[in-house]
Chains A and B, each alone.
Chain A
Amino acid sequence: MIWAKEETMSRAEIEEIQLKRLKETVNRVYEKVGPYREKMDQAGVAPSDIKTLKDLSKLPFVTKQDMRDNYPFGLFAVPKEELVRIHASSGTTGKPTVVGYTEKDLEMWTECVSRIAAMGGATEKDVAQICFGYGMFTGALGLHFGLENMGAAIVPSSTGNSEKQIMYMKDFGTTLLVATPSYALRLGEVAKEMGLDPKKDLNVKIGLVGSELLTEAMRGEMHKLWGEDMLVTSNYGMSELMGPGVSGECDKLCGMHINEDYFIPEIINPKTGEVLPPGEKGELVITCIYKEALPLIRYRTKDITRLIYEPCKCGRTTVRMENLSGRTDDMLKIRGVNVFPSQIEEVLLGIEEIGPHYEIIVTRKNHSDILEIRVELVKPVDVYRELEALEKKIKHKLRIVLGLDAKIRLESPNTLKRFEGKAQRVKDLRKEV
């Protein structure tokens, strides 16, 4: 089901709305937000210079560092009195980034999430269990209000206490699961440990997964555990931009539709900052054109993707962003080779003898980087020869994809850490030496 008529507008109509809203937003931030005015003055660009959508590239970028420098409310375009909600990022890498919402911002957020939930197959008949951590994190409340707005029944079970989560699923007849891909896998495992087969004994038919990238291999693992007929879609957002709801996949599974009447996407070369032509892969930059409290302009997401402008078979005309290939942040440089953890994941998940959980450890010894990967052996073996052959097979497949040799550490099932929120599967210990 297509939730809003804005999702099927012609390109000309979309662009007309975008230009109008972009001009309004740029005018407003120039007037109300000191740091923006300074940045624009420094770049020698005035609000009146924005005459077409192409002029967007004249505006300076905003980064997470700008948000930290102006902690907590320095980039806000409304007085604090007008805020009705404040969220913050976890701040694992420094001061948290703070985001605020006016009443109108919350309405827009809810609308955006309802759209992506509808894309992922949700309807008012669903019982939606939200297994994202509630709190300062935007994921849980974002999905909560968007799905509630559709008329779905919300089970706000948050994260943790996985056995109870499975009990709710069974007893309440949960049909829709909201979680990170890794927690969705964990929940499936817990159900099995409890003697239930998620495919038969539970009725979860829709998975709206986010906050972590969903590789195709991971989607395959989800189907293996939860059933082939489950519709697993990924959706995208970040608290700086609003939270979940920036974009989401429809049932055609060919990229995530961006809510273009609210956000303008660009793809840039992360090194030079230059805008790349449509279809090229690079860093995603997003401009918020309808937000009141925190309308970030040209925010550098650090996510790597490409944009697809052809209309989708589902009937929507909004631009799609390909499922993420990784984050510029996550990229590891190992012995001079660029490695995205998602590449390693794709390889590992394609090997049936090992489970879907893994840990990547990078260390340095004698001025050389060492890539070590811990995996769980799920298919029991009885002879050393098979263990050696398995190690060789994993190494070989990784070598083909990465061009690097990795050390493989086979371990017993259930020894690696399981995650309820964002999985942290990479340990780069080189900096600490």
Chain B
Amino acid sequence: MFIKQLSVFIENQEGRLEQVLEVLKQEQINIISLSLADTSEYGLLRLITSDPVAGQAALKKQGFSAMLTDVLAVRLAHQVGRLQEILSFVCKAGLNVEYMYALSNKEGDASIICKISNGDEAAVLLKSKEVELYSQEDILRIFC
């Protein structure tokens, strides 16, 4: 139901982001999607990767503050209004989207990663509305 997102705390300093990517490269970990906002002091780098567990271990070893978070990977048809429709389910249920970013998809339709305030409830809700959620295995099979 959920997939593991790797979240890394990085100071807003020259070269810090590159150091994270270097660690992942050394471990032969592929990055499928990522999100990073511009903030003045520090940032949270959120990554969907081919091996989140190994990525976290390697980053921790190199002195990074890294954690795994359960997020939803939602598959949606590439058409006007589909994302709005899915979000309307979420909003009506009184749930909040904490963050969201796009996931590249080779299959021709669209997909997003999102963290919703109550993840379990959101997952059940979306499934009941026949919204397709990717599993960790799907991610490896389809995106890598």
**Chain A residues engaging chain B, CB cutoff 8 angstroms:** 377-384, 387, 409-415
- When C-beta atoms are compared, the residue in chain B nearest to A355 turns out to be B65
The residue from B46, B63, B98 contacting A413, defined by CB atoms under 8 A apart: B63
Q: 27 A-B Cβ contacts within 8 A?
A: A377-B65, A380-B7, A380-B65, A380-B66, A380-B67, A381-B9, A381-B67, A382-B5, A382-B7, A382-B46, A382-B67, A382-B69, A383-B44, A383-B98, A383-B99, A383-B115, A384-B37, A387-B42, A387-B44, A410-B9, A410-B11, A411-B11, A412-B9, A412-B10, A412-B64, A412-B65, A415-B63
Q: Chain B, 36-51, contact with A by CB distance < 8 Å: what is the 0/1 string? A: 0101011010100000
A376 to chain B, nearest CB (A): 8
Interface centre among B10, B44, B98 (most CB of A within 10 A): B44
Q: B9: which A residues are within 8 A, CB to CB?
A: 377, 380-381, 387, 410, 412
In contact, A413 and B64 (Cβ under 8 angstroms): yes
> Is the CB–CB distance between B63 and A412 below 8 Å?
yes
| Cβ distance A393 to chain B, nearest Cβ, rounded Å | 16
**Most chain B CB neighbours (cut-off 10 Å) among A377, A387, A412, A415:** A412
Total interface residues on B, CB under 8 Å, equals 20
Other A-B pairs beyond A387-B42, A413-B65, 10, CB < 8 Å: A377-B9, A377-B65, A380-B9, A380-B66, A381-B65, A382-B5, A410-B9, A410-B11, A412-B10, A412-B64
Once A410-B9, A411-B11 are accepted as A-B contacts, the answer to whether A384 and B64 lie under 8 Å apart by CB is no
Q: How long is the Cα–Cα vector from A413 to B37 in the complex, in angstroms?
A: 21
Shortest CB-to-CB span from B93 to chain A, Å, is 20
Q: With A383-B99, A412-B10 given, is the CB distance from A378 to B44 under 8 Å?
A: no
Taking the closest CB of chain A, its distance from the CB of B80, in whole angstroms, is: 30
**3 shortest A-B CB distances, which residue pairs?**
A380-B67, A414-B63, A382-B7
Residues of B contacting A384 in the complex (Cβ-Cβ under 8 angstroms): 37, 39, 44
**Alpha-carbon distance between A379 and B39 when the two chains are bound, in angstroms:** 20
Task: Name the distance in Å between A371's Cβ and chain B's nearest Cβ.
Answer: 16
Find chain A residues with CB under 8 A from B37 CB.
384
Chain B positions 2 through 24: 1 when the CB is less than 8 Å from some CB of chain A, otherwise 0: 00010101110000000000000
Chain B 52-95, CB-CB to A under 8 Å as 1, else 0, gives 00000000000111110100000000000000000000000000
A-binding residues in B (CB < 8 A):
5, 7, 9-11, 37, 39, 41-42, 44, 46, 63-67, 69, 98-99, 115
- With the chains together, A414 CA to B19 CA distance in Å? 14
Residues on the B chain within 8 Å of A383, using CB: 44, 98-99, 115
> Which residues on the B side are within 8 Å of A414 (C-beta)?
63
Chain A nearest CB, measured from B117 CB (Å)? 11
Q: Which residues of A contact B115 (CB under 8 A)?
A: 382-383
| Distance to closest chain A CB from B116 (angstroms) | 12
Inter-subunit contact B11/A412 (CB<8 Å): yes
- Could you say which residues of chain A place their CB within 8 Å of the CB of B98? 383
A residues near B41, Cβ cutoff 8 Å: 409-410
Separation of A410 and B65 alpha carbons in the complex (Å)? 11
**A382 in contact with B64 given A410-B9, A411-B11, A412-B11 (CB within 8 Å):** no
Given A383-B44, A412-B9, A378:B65 Cβ within 8 A:
yes
Complex Cα gap A415–B64 (Å): 9
Q: Which residue of chain B has the shortest Cβ distance to A386 in the bound complex?
A: B44
Structural contact, A381 and B44, CB atoms closer than 8 A = yes
Q: For the complex, what is the distance from the CA of A132 to the CA of B5, rounded to whole Å?
A: 44
Residues of B near A410 (CB, < 8 A) are 9, 11, 41-42
Chain A nearest CB: distance from B90 CB in Å? 17
B39: A residues at CB distance < 8 A = 384
B7→A381 contact, CB < 8 A: yes
In the assembled complex, the Cα of A377 lies from the Cα of B66 at a distance in Å of: 10
Q: Name which residue of chain A comes closest to B10, CB basis.
A: A412
Q: Which residues of B contact A378 (CB under 8 A)?
A: 65
Q: How far is the CA of A121 from the CA of B99 in the complex (A)?
A: 55
Complex: how many Å from CA A150 to CA B5?
57
Bound-state CA distance A411–B8 (Å) is 12
User: Which B residues are CB-close (under 8 A) to A411?
Assistant: 11, 42
* B66 closest partner in A (C-beta): A380
The docked-state distance in angstroms from the alpha carbon of A121 to that of B44 is: 47
Whole-angstrom CA separation of A413 from B7 in the bound complex: 15
Q: How far is the CA of A377 from the CA of B8 in the complex (A)?
A: 11
Min CB distance A303 to B, Å, is 35
- Residues of chain A contacted by B44 (CB below 8 angstroms): 381-384, 387
Chain A neighbourhood of B63, CB < 8 A: 412-415
A373 → B minimal CB distance (Å): 13
Name which residue of chain B comes closest to A408, CB basis: B41
Q: What's the least CB distance linking B53 to chain A, in Å?
A: 14
CB-CB < 8 A to A387: which residues of B? 9, 42, 44
Cα A412 to Cα B66 with chains together (Å): 9
Determine the residue in chain A with the shortest Cβ distance to B46. Answer: A382
